[in-house]
Amino acid sequence: MGMLKRAVKNRACVEGSICEAYSFNEISTFVSDYFPDEVLTKANRVSRHDDGGNVELNGRLAVFGLSGRAYGKQKRIFLSEKDLHAAHTYILLNCDEIDEYALTAGSVLPANVLPLAMGPDKDQVSCNGYKVNGYEFHTKAYGFGKRTTNSGVCVQGDSCNELNQVFYGELEEIIELSYKGTYGGHINLFKCRWFDLEKGRRVDRHGIVDIDLHKSAYSNEPFVLPTQTTQVYYTPTPGRKRDRPPANWQVVIHTPARRREEVIAGDVYQEQTLHKPNVINVEDDEVIQLDDENEAHEIDPELLLVEDDIDTDNEELLTDTDTEIDTDEDDGYESAKEDDSDSDSSDNGT
């Protein structure tokens, strides 16, 4: 009803405005079923946190089809030779399809590998926001002065690292590298400022991680693929002001992802069935075979459930009267003892 009231445009004809709004809603919903799939309507509109999913490769390398969606105002930038080399090297190290060609000198490269071999263009595109893995990332400069902080980045270390530790940083720039060619495409990278984990990290006995935001490291490897990241934010340590650490030390809080998890079809765990005991008839000194074991086991008939043990047709219910009688019988010794003490006290009185 509230939706229909808000649809009133002419207060002189309230009923007519409501009927017109209702009819318009029904007609638009009906017509939207005949639109092609690329037209976004209420029926097929995706969530605002949707990252677009994996892109069709069409013979290209898998690194060109990673999920993720950039948004916001874009601008043309020119990377330095150092940053361009670092970004291209990171992409090559994270592309498994080219491992067989990296160590083979003089081999003929297939057509889908040539775009990576030629390298990216020097003029690239940068944007302020990116949606991936159910997170919504902003650059640090774009989020400055806002109430929400979406520039914290967390990356799990490579398995080849002996420590296999987690790296924390801040997102400084979102870059889209362009590779020309028939099998080329665009690859998005996060340029981050990583914090020093040796001198600027501490973990308390509860597992809470504190990071020193003033100590940076790993400046030679600033790039990371968006699909490898999760989102965190940094907040001051709670407590009294005199007990807090310096302002540069802040606590790492992991942000939950906003996405739909794929549910594997299977049994419903809420629907649990009650298992009734199996009733078997066992004669004395009978030996039976259990499971598929080689050794036979001798079963004691007294430890098994037989039909007479679970027959409840002739079972009598215990009432409150029976309970009181049983209680009196159990306390017979104490009652007799109390009677003796009463008789002794009466004799002394006389």
The three-state DSSP-derived secondary structure of 29-69 is HHHHCCCCCCCCCCCCCCCCCCCCCCCCCCCCCHHHHCCCE
**Least confident span in 89-98, 196-205, 238-247, 303-312:** 303-312
State the Cα–Cα distance between residues 139 and 171, nearest whole angstrom: 5
Q: What pLDDT, on a 0 to 100 scale, did the predictor assign at position 86?
A: 92
- Are 136 and 129 in contact, with CB atoms under 8 Å apart? yes
Helix, strand, coil share of the chain (percent; to 5): 30, 25, 50
Radius of gyration of the chain (CA): 37
Average pLDDT over residues 264-268: 51
State the Cα–Cα distance between residues 189 and 87, nearest whole angstrom: 8
State the Cα–Cα distance between residues 87 and 122, nearest whole angstrom: 11
Size of the chain, expressed as the number of residues it contains: 350
- Band of residue 169 on the pLDDT scale cut at 50, 70, 90: very high
CB burial readout 8-46, b (16+ within 10 A) else e: eeeeeeeeebbeebeeeeeeeeeeeeeeeeeeeeeeeee
**Mean of the per-residue pLDDT values for the chain?**
75
**Least confident span in 160-174, 236-250, 275-289:** 275-289
* Best CA proximity match to 201, nearest among 248, 240, 260: 248
- Band of residue 283 on the pLDDT scale cut at 50, 70, 90: low
Full-model pTM: 0.62
What percentage of residues in the chain have a pLDDT greater than 90? 23
Residue found under tokens 């898998």: 62
Judge whether residue 40 has pLDDT over 60: yes
Beta bridge partners of 287: 298
**Least confident span in 178-182, 297-301, 313-317:** 313-317
DSSP state of 108: P
* pLDDT digit string, tens, across residues 57-110: 888 888 898 888 888 888 998 888 999 999 999 999 888 888 777 655 666 778
